[in-house]
Amino acid sequence: MNIKIEKIPENELKPLYQDPAQLGFGKVFTDYMFTMRYVKGKGWIEPKIGKYTSIPMGPAAVVLHYAQEIFEGLKAYAAEDGRILLFRPEENAKRMYDSAEKICMPPFPVEYFVEAVTALVNLEKRWIPKAPGTSLYVRPTLIGIGDALGVHPADEYLFFIILTPVSAYFKEGFKPVSLYVEDFHVRAAVGGVGNAKTGANYAASLLAGAKAEQKGFSQVLWLDARERKYVEEVGAMNIFFVFGKKVVTPNLSGSILPGITRKSVLELAKSLGYEVEERPISIDEVIAGIKDGTLTESFGSGTAAVISPVGSLNFEGDNYLVSNNQVGKVTEELYIKLLDLQYGRARDPFGWVKEIGRF
Ligand code: PLP
Ligand code: COI
């Protein structure tokens, strides 16, 4: 790929954030973005890094009407020794490839994905925050921009990457979050697109998420669409339950996102001597486990959320505390071990961490 770089004059660059710990999530954007177009008959053309700016498209663009959109999320980390690190970027590239096929879009080549992220992050390295728990969040996105109101895939696409320096996703930081177990609304059904990272799944989640927030909960815990019986995932993360030395997460049923953090936590937990299980978990089993004390901890996993302890579940009007609303030992151990890998503080026996440049 021959990426054209359109430099912004030095005196037109944005001022950096003041306090990295106060960044929150996805509110500040860097100076540059990567773009590449796909045109039927021509393939992927015009790789470019230029100014972060609005996207020109017609009002009949397919993405605006029929939500032909997919995205990814990964982070660039500043290691203390000056290395710039990505965490398993090929996994994001592969998932985006799979998402594209599910939404009838031309898949963005895996090697282009990693090359584009590497080039953009290196150019924007001054934006990678260095305060504890902060990072530069990378948001690759693919949209159908061809104009047509017939319900068909677009004939033109735009792939772009934007960057945002972030601190914690939840306002609670690394503190227990409260989840509302949603037993009416559903996010996705098996046979649908719940296992693709597509905007439509998030649109479907907004109302339930807003209702849960109004009631004072951090996020929704989704149940399966068919029976409202099995636990699926949370609004922006996968879910784990700890039963003593056993770490359990719902199997990839087809309607939940195959999280890269989820996959990493499973491997990490196994390497630390925990027994791990991927299987259907009913909400009744979860509530019974909380009641009889066998369910000792719960946490969510995600790129933005990292590992987020769950402090309580609200189900059918009753509130159940998990780990007494404290951060559990297993959750904390996995959190520390995962961050040590991501920030390059620990030796990486898994080969997950990719150095893409230096400060
Ligand atoms: N589930 C949903 C709905 C998400 O939005 C995310 C975030 O990406 C995850 C799970 C976790 O996926 P990952 O660990 O790949 O970030
Ligand atoms: C991520 O963790 O990368 C996500 O995409 C979650 C999100 C929708 C904010």
- pLDDT tens by residue, 32-91: 999 999 999 999 999 999 999 999 999 999 999 999 999 999 999 999 999 999 999 999
Ligand 1 pocket, residue 236 CB under 6 Å: yes
How far away, in angstroms, is 252 Cα from ligand 1 center? 13
Hey, whose CA ends up nearest to atom 11 of ligand 1? 302
How far away, in angstroms, is 301 Cα from ligand 2 center? 10
Convert 5-25 to b/e letters by CB count within 10 Å (16 or more is b). eeeeeeeeeeeebeebeebeb
CB under 8 A, 24+ apart: contacts of 269-272: 269/330, 269/334, 271/349, 271/350, 272/333, 272/334, 272/337
Average pLDDT, rounded, for the chain: 97
Report the predicted TM-score, pTM, of the whole model to 2 decimal places.
0.97
Ligand 1 pocket, residue 99 CB under 6 Å: no
| Contact present, 8 and 95 (Cβ < 8 Å) | no
Hey, whose CA ends up nearest to atom 1 of ligand 1? 237
Contacting residues for 332 by C-beta, under 8 A, at least 6 apart: 309
Ligand 1 pocket, residue 262 CB under 6 Å: yes
Give the tens place of pLDDT for each residue, 155-210. 999 999 999 999 988 777 789 999 999 999 999 999 999 999 999 999 999 999 99
Give the tens place of pLDDT for each residue, 259-317. 999 999 999 999 999 999 999 999 999 999 999 999 999 999 999 999 999 999 999 99
Q: Which atom of ligand 2 is nearest to the CA of 26?
A: 9
